[in-house]
Amino acid sequence: MVNELAVYAANSNNTKGRVHQDDGAAYRNQYQRDRDRIIHSSAFRRLEYKTQVFVNHEGDMFRTRLTHSIEVAQIGRTIARALNVNEDLTEAICLAHDLGHTPFGHAGQDALNACMRDYGGFEHNLQSIRIVDQLEKRYASFPGLNLTFETREGILKHCSRINAQTLGELGARFINNERPGVEAQIANIADEIAYNNHDIDDGLRAGLLEIDDLRSCEIFSSHYDSVIKKWPDLSDSRLRHEIIRRMINFLVSDLITTSEEMINSVRPIDIDEVRKCGVTLIKMSDATDVMHKELKKYLRINLYQHERVQTMANRAKETVGLLFDAYMNNPSLLTNETQHNISRNKDSDDKNAVTRIIADYIAGMTDRFAFSEAERISGAV
Ligand code: MG
């Protein structure tokens, strides 16, 4: 028996709809169709070879953007189901939330943003929207995946005011300081819960983090204590997994009960009231939020800024910079399709149109393709 959706949930029958006219499907609701379009997209498949923290070729055991996105979706669905909101929409947003990421994770994005400084910059969230709205080529009569407004609203997590002004209704909330629907709020926090926990797992596995050091974080140490009390002689691997699954369960449970309290105090009667109510409804308790932030800070200092991660980040930055300069100076290095795309846009009113095509091309690369392309280009000059 499926629970009835809460009144404040997104409802497939009342979607704000798609940009292009589109017939319905017999067996799937609008958000299930969005999810399926995302899974079938080429950008989604390429997440398999894009860095989360560790570059893909550093080992087969580490998270990639693809497995990260699946973990986010799984956490998001649990929360959505517990709160009686739209699980299909939550899943669609979670699976799509990182589609716009460049190769090499944040280092790649920072490098591409620096390259694009004089051409409108590069934001990975905005790139996710470009992919689903324009860059995927799967339909005869329109560009992109033609997703519903609610899925697109959830994908666009952050946006600068300048870029928001170009996005019409989708960008309006960044100008009016409104929130997205509950499902988008869930996807946002499910992302944080997923990466904080799986980055600990990957960091410990890689030997960049140590269990004893992590005990300086309250949330880690309290779950460490409860596991050790029950099983004092556990192997490192089992200890790690027992702690992490407890932390995820703790964070998700706290989030669900706190969000229920928030929803009960605001009592939104529909998704528009969620957007306009002026507060974030999906949140952890203050005490848990403090612990979660402490963990996040710990990871920033001890994992993301770790020498080994930084060495790879520097190589990534060099690679993206090299590719950008090479394509700008010599567009004949690009694929035929990209060169055609450039000639079609040469006389565009948008003075950055050609540079944006180059940025799209680089952003779409997997880690290994970017490395091999840089090697090919370096060998050619
Ligand atoms: Mg993410």
Is 5 domain-assigned? no
51, β-bridge pairs: 64
Neighbours of ion ligand 1 (CB under 5 A): 98, 191
- Per-residue pLDDT at 2: 57
51/110: higher pLDDT: 110
- Per-residue pLDDT at 24: 77
Task: Write the pLDDT tens digit of every residue in 4-48.
Answer: 899 999 999 999 999 998 887 889 999 999 999 999 999 999 999
Same domain, 63 and 126: yes
Same domain, 335 and 299: no
Residue 190, judged by CB atoms within 10 A of its CB (0-12, 13-18, 19+), counts as buried
Q: Would you tell me how many other CB atoms lie within 10 Å of the CB of residue 290?
A: 12
Per DSSP, 329 falls in state: H
Instruction: Compute, in angstroms, the gap from residue 69 CA to the centroid of ligand 1.
Output: 6
Instruction: Compute, in angstroms, the gap from residue 105 CA to the centroid of ligand 1.
Output: 10
Same domain, 202 and 86: yes
Per DSSP, 277 falls in state: S
Instruction: Compute, in angstroms, the gap from residue 191 CA to the centroid of ligand 1.
Output: 5
Final residue of a structural domain among 271, 293, 308: 308
Is 13 domain-assigned? no
Average pLDDT over every residue of 321-330:
97
Instruction: Compute, in angstroms, the gap from residue 347 CA to the centroid of ligand 1.
Output: 36
Q: Distance between CA atoms of 45 and 80, rounded to whole angstroms?
A: 25
Instruction: Compute, in angstroms, the gap from residue 190 CA to the centroid of ligand 1.
Output: 9
Structure tokens at 291: 């612990």
Same domain, 260 and 368: no
Residues in the chain: 381
- Per-residue pLDDT at 173: 95
Q: Are 142 and 157 in contact (CB under 8 A)?
A: no
Instruction: Compute, in angstroms, the gap from residue 210 CA to the centroid of ligand 1.
Output: 24
Give the chain's domain count. 2
Above 90 in pLDDT, residue 135? yes
Instruction: Compute, in angstroms, the gap from residue 15 CA to the centroid of ligand 1.
Output: 25
Half-sphere exposure of 138 (CA within 13 A, CB side): 17
Buried b (16+ CB within 10 A) or exposed e, 127-165: bbbbbbbebbeeeeebebbbbbbbbbbbbbbebeeebbe
Average pLDDT over every residue of 113-126:
95
Above 60 in pLDDT, residue 63? yes
Per DSSP, 227 falls in state: H
- Residue 209's H or E segment, with its range, is none
Same domain, 255 and 292: yes
Is 1 domain-assigned? no
Is 24 domain-assigned? no
Same domain, 150 and 176: yes
Question: 8-17, 106-115, 132-141, 371-380: which has the minimum mean pLDDT?
Answer: 371-380
High-pLDDT (> 70) share of the chain, %: 98
Above 90 in pLDDT, residue 348? no
The average confidence (pLDDT) of the chain is 94
Task: Write the pLDDT tens digit of every residue in 169-183.
Answer: 999 999 999 999 999
Alpha helices in 13-123 (DSSP H): 30-40, 42-46, 65-82, 87-96, 105-115
- Residue 346's H or E segment, with its range, is none
Above 80 in pLDDT, residue 61? no
Same domain, 205 and 338: no
- Per-residue pLDDT at 380: 60
Instruction: Compute, in angstroms, the gap from residue 288 CA to the centroid of ligand 1.
Output: 21
Same domain, 251 and 324: no
Same domain, 118 and 206: yes
Q: Distance between CA atoms of 66 and 97, rounded to whole angstroms?
A: 11
Instruction: Compute, in angstroms, the gap from residue 41 CA to the centroid of ligand 1.
Output: 18
Q: Are 65 and 199 in contact (CB under 8 A)?
A: no
Instruction: Compute, in angstroms, the gap from residue 47 CA to the centroid of ligand 1.
Output: 11
Q: Distance between CA atoms of 299 and 138, rounded to whole angstroms?
A: 39
Which residues are within 8 A (CB) of 380 and not within 5 positions of it... i.e. 6 or more apart? 333
Average pLDDT over every residue of 99-116:
95
Average pLDDT over every residue of 191-210:
95
Is 246 domain-assigned? yes
Closest to 188 in 3D by CA, of 38, 75, 44 = 75
- Per-residue pLDDT at 381: 52
* pTM metric for this prediction: 0.96
Q: How confident is the model at residue 52 (pLDDT cuts 50, 70, 90)?
A: confident
64, β-bridge pairs: 51
Q: How confident is the model at residue 1 (pLDDT cuts 50, 70, 90)?
A: very low
- Per-residue pLDDT at 25: 84
Task: Write the pLDDT tens digit of every residue in 203-261.
Answer: 999 999 999 999 999 999 999 999 999 999 999 999 999 999 999 999 999 999 999 99
Instruction: Compute, in angstroms, the gap from residue 95 CA to the centroid of ligand 1.
Output: 9
Taking the CA atoms of 104, 105, 109 and 111 in sequence, report the sign of the dihedral they define: negative
**Enclosing domain of residue 367:** 313-380
Same domain, 334 and 239: no
Q: How confident is the model at residue 309 (pLDDT cuts 50, 70, 90)?
A: confident
- Per-residue pLDDT at 3: 67
Same domain, 62 and 125: yes
Instruction: Compute, in angstroms, the gap from residue 46 CA to the centroid of ligand 1.
Output: 15
Instruction: Compute, in angstroms, the gap from residue 88 CA to the centroid of ligand 1.
Output: 18
Final residue of a structural domain among 244, 279, 308: 308
Final residue of a structural domain among 308, 337, 353: 308
Q: How confident is the model at residue 351 (pLDDT cuts 50, 70, 90)?
A: confident
Radius of gyration (Cα) for the chain, nearest Å? 22
